[in-house]
């Protein structure tokens, strides 16, 4: 496995480095549609960001899961984090487990 430069940002959800050639995205901790425009954002692996939105509604994100620490406590996200931490930083995949119901 190639060496990971020390200056790559770390994904706050999974704790893995985010290499520059890996899809990444900014996550608004409070969704823009729920008052988070201009609020705090975190840089995540795109796969981690997709899993957050597959698991939680914007209302749930705004009310109960508006910090990285809170996101890590959600059962589905905790399972995802355990799973994705075993993959290399550049790992790409479809979001496992499908989208949340009721969407």
pLDDT digits (tens, 9 = 90+) for 40-55: 999 999 999 999 999 9
For the record, the structure tokens of 61 come out as 């994100």
CA distance 83 to 38: 32
Give the pLDDT confidence score for residue 97 in this predicted structure. 54
- Counting as low any pLDDT under 70, the low residues of the chain are 1-6, 94-103
Residue 32, domain member (yes or no): yes
Residue 15, domain member (yes or no): no
Residue 5, domain member (yes or no): no
> 18: which residues sit within 8 A by CB, 6+ positions away?
8, 9, 10, 11, 24, 43, 44, 45, 89
Residue 90, domain member (yes or no): no
Residue 92, domain member (yes or no): no
Domain count for the chain: 1
Residue 52, domain member (yes or no): yes
Residue 50, domain member (yes or no): yes
Residue 96, domain member (yes or no): no
Exposed, middle or buried: residue 43 (CB in 10 Å: 0-12, 13-18, 19+)?
middle
Does residue 13 contact residue 65 with C-beta atoms inside 8 Å? no
- Residue 55 is part of which domain span? 24-84
Query: pTM here?
Result: 0.82
């Amino acid at each position: 496995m190639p060496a990971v430069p020390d200056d790559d940002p770390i994904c706050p959800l999974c704790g893995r480095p985010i290499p520059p050639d890996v899809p990444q995205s900014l996550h608004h901790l409070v969704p823009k549609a729920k008052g988070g425009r201009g609020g705090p954002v975190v840089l995540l692996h795109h796969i981690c960001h997709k899993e957050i939105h597959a698991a939680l509604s914007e209302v749930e994100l705004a009310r109960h899961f508006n910090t990285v620490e809170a996101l890590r406590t959600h059962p589905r996200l905790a399972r995802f984090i355990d799973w994705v931490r075993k993959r290399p930083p550049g790992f790409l995949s479809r979001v496992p487990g499908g989208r949340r119901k009721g969407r």
